[in-house]
Structure 1
Amino acid sequence: WDVGHIAHFEELWLTQNLDGPIEFSEMPGLYNPFEHPRATRASLALPTLSQMTERLAEIRRRVLDRLDTVEFDESNPLLRDGYVYNMVLQHEYQHNETILQTLQLKKGAPYRAPRKITFDQRVARDCEMIAFDGGRVTIGTNDRSAAYDNERSQHEVDLRPFLIDRDPVTNARYLEFVSDNGYRRAELWSEAGRRWLAESAAVAPKYWVRDGEEWITRSMDVTRLVERAKPVSHVCYHEAEAFARWDKKRLPTEFEWEAAASWDPSSSESREFPWGNYVADSKSANIDQLAFDTAPVGTYDRNVSPIGCYGMIGDGWEWTSSDFSGYPGFQTFPYKEYSEEFFGPDYKVLRGGSWATRPGAIRNTFRNWDYPIRRQIFSGFRCASDA
């Protein structure tokens, strides 16, 4: 389904509708995500993968032929700075990650991941917190070449002083929570969290399985002991929130997260990435589907923000406490079904990307969102507290 959706989305925007915004309902019904939510797609009568990849290749040829003659008219917001092409490319990247989530979920023979790199084991380092002094910071972006509508417009917010974990929460720390009966202590869970816990019967992160005195986990076709130095992964919002309460902390707001990732107190400016304004690559962070797994905390020395937070890009999307909503002056562009349809308390914001995120689909201002119960996504978290 995802491959077909990628093909039809590209055809819709880059061969049929370059002259102006469209209604999402024009997408063929089979590949319209609002007509067919994810839970129903397995029952659809879909073309074969071979048929859809051939269809995608045909569409791609037409797109490239059209690109040779396109005039990037500044008066057309879709074409200005190549926005519509960047949007379609990011859309494909995001579905690349969704496909990997599905392959991780699938039963039967596991997907044989084409790993290009591996990581040396490390000793889990102590949990430290970094102080943010608070004050007025810049959030979001005014970029019109690639940023989604929910990242705009850039605006200032006042933050109170806070502390935030230097690193994402590791398996070592999460094992302590599990060993301390964290999943059985009702006082650590919100009312919604307790309902989810009763329905899911969860006792550990998704894909963790007890093996005697140890825990094992699986990443695609590799099953191994839970490695203590790696960030915990495949936890939902409720699990992250319960851990934070157990640790006498809380989850950061998305503005606190973005400030910790991007704000440079020495220049009073925001960075596009924690390490600066040059594009993310595999030397800067664990992204781009190279390892098909998280990296031990501290592996990427470059992946550090101006205030000293590590690993804020890559490895795992990080849950925040914020509901997904529009920024002040939000304007839908180019279609409301990307962002606006999801605004409200049903969705929580995640930041930072994962090992499965492509470089062109992540930056400090990028906002992901999902249901608080979702744990098949490549998600982790870090904690914060009031200063």
Structure 2
Amino acid sequence: MTSLDLTGSESTEANRLRSRVAAELRRSRERSTALTDAVDDDDLVRQHSKLMSPLVWDLAHIGNQEELWLVRDVGGREPVRSDIDELYDAFQHSRASRPSLPLLKPAEARGYVSQVREKVLDVLESTELSGRRLVENAFAFGMIVQHEQQHAETMLATHQLRTGGPVLHAPEPPPAAPLPAREVLVPGGPFTMGTSTEPWALDNEGPAFAVDLAPYWIDAVPVSNGDYLAFIDAGGYDDQRWWSEAGWAHRTAASLRAPRFWERDGDRWLRTRFGVVEPVPPDEPVVHVCFHEAAAYARWAGKRLPTEAEWEKAARWDPASGRSRRFPWGDDDPGPLHANLGQRHLRPAPVGAYPDGESPLGVRQLMGEVWEWCDSDFLPYPGFAAFPYREYSEVFFRGDYKMLRGGSFGTDASAVRGTFRNWDHPIRRQIFAGFRCARDADGS
């Protein structure tokens, strides 16, 4: 191959990567736009919960992060609006205090993010996607795609908290398929956890390292609403035996009686889902439970929550090859038959759905549906190095955080993978979180 051929090949690959990045940026913006255009300006500036920002703050914050990293850092361009950096710095102002700030009005925020995006697309076309770690394999662009999609899920959670009629609509998810077994045995032995090769992986996902686990059983599907109702009916919320000391203290202080957004109506339970009040569907994964509720249920059921390593081995390890896959079904990016992702259905699918997304061991619905609580603290992997900034992961290590894995129906495919790590306080319930159970292979 001549040097001209090589250059042409490299140029073709770079153009292919640029096209992919542009498509992901466009897709992310379409979702952000849909979530903010679905409500009027009063709703955009209103704070629907002190746990969440006004939707208009999220929108402008998305644009500000894009400007900081892609326009100014990668592109070396002049600032678009340096005067608003402090307003949209998530570490400068708590969510509860953000409505009192002099935020951009909805029309200003929309104009700002559009102006930033125009410059970003120009930077994408003119930037060599090699030679610097921040731009190698378009990492900074991928980081911003994931950031926007993460905030889109946050905005979706805000929609769940708003009052009023439904403004979001989506088709129903696919039905369940037969399950060969309710539990799956994961053999003991080592597997590779984390990644050192995923181009857009975030810093806390690596580096890859070996973990040796004892054999254990794990549920083939997440715990369903029907399963969880049995725990409620058995008095699980009133029996201190099932709760940790911290869990019981929180259950008592917060007067927890059921998952968030559930209300008893005579002899049945109703839930509110994006403005729709409906009977709780027994076959869907339970959602909007905190870590303490999940752990209490697991103890009541004679099980426990999986550790983060156990969850990842069940999701990624292929016993035939001994290697860890990118996703439960293989290395291909998620498709509509693999998992319930991307706000496609606005609800979890029934337990047992998505057989094409099953792991080699026979564990189903590990990606999408609900974030799954794991009984592990958020800690760095051996050899962790913060990149490209400490505030994404490092400042949260060794705090009061429990791990969440797998993504929810509101998580985009670009913002989740078999190695992706999410975390939150163990009392949080506004997030789209559920769980599955595990138990030791010796029965203990």
TM-score, normalised with respect to structure 1:
0.95
Mapped partners of 2:381, 2:167: distance in 1: 41
43, 63, 84: which one aligns with 2:120: 63
Contact 2:177–2:355 under 8 Å retained in 1: no
1:1-387 counterparts in 2 under 5 A?
1-18=57-74, 28-74=85-131, 76-106=132-162, 108-115=163-170, 117-119=171-173, 128-143=182-197, 145-387=199-441
The one-character-per-residue Cα deviations of 1:282-337 (angstroms, maximum 9, x if unpaired) are 22111111111111112211121110101000010000001001100000000000
In structure 2, runs of 5+ residues without a counterpart are: 1-56, 77-81
Letter in 2 for 1:343: F
Structure 1 residue 38, shift from structure 2 partner? 1.9
Mapped partners of 2:241, 2:422: distance in 1: 29
Aligned residues, how many? 380
Mapped partners of 1:198, 1:27: distance in 2: 42
Mapped partners of 2:67, 2:149: distance in 1: 16
**Of 52-61 and 11-20, the range deviating more from structure 2:** 11-20
Mapped partners of 2:246, 2:180: distance in 1: 31
Mapped partners of 1:268, 1:26: distance in 2: 53
Contact 2:62–2:151 under 8 Å retained in 1: yes
CA RMSD of aligned residues (A): 1.9
Mapped partners of 2:276, 2:90: distance in 1: 31
Mapped partners of 2:290, 2:201: distance in 1: 26
The one-character-per-residue Cα deviations of 1:193-238 (angstroms, maximum 9, x if unpaired) are 1111112111000001101100011210222111111000000000
Letter in 2 for 1:84: A
Contact 1:124–1:228 under 8 Å retained in 2: no
Contact 1:238–1:372 under 8 Å retained in 2: yes
Structure 1 residue 144, shift from structure 2 partner? 5.3
Contact 1:152–1:330 under 8 Å retained in 2: yes
SS across alignment from 2:375 = strand
Letter in 1 for 2:85: P
SS across alignment from 1:131 = strand
Letter in 1 for 2:240: A
Mapped partners of 2:245, 2:184: distance in 1: 30
SS across alignment from 1:224 = strand
Q: Which has the higher helix share?
A: 2
Mapped partners of 2:269, 2:422: distance in 1: 29
Contact 2:178–2:352 under 8 Å retained in 1: no
SS across alignment from 1:157 = strand
SS across alignment from 1:302 = helix
Mapped partners of 1:36, 1:126: distance in 2: 50
In structure 1, runs of 5+ residues without a counterpart are: none
Identity %, equivalent residues: 45
Contact 2:176–2:349 under 8 Å retained in 1: no
TM-score, normalised with respect to structure 2:
0.83
Structure 1 residue 42, shift from structure 2 partner? 3.0
* Max Rg structure: 2
SS across alignment from 2:111 = helix
**Of 121-130 and 169-178, the range deviating more from structure 2:** 121-130
The one-character-per-residue Cα deviations of 1:127-164 (angstroms, maximum 9, x if unpaired) are 72110111011000012520000001000011011110
Mapped partners of 1:121, 1:256: distance in 2: 27
SS across alignment from 1:346 = coil
Moved over 6 A (4+): 123-127
Specify which structure has the bigger relative contact order, considering alpha-carbon pairs within 8 angstroms and separated by 6 or more residues. Answer: 1
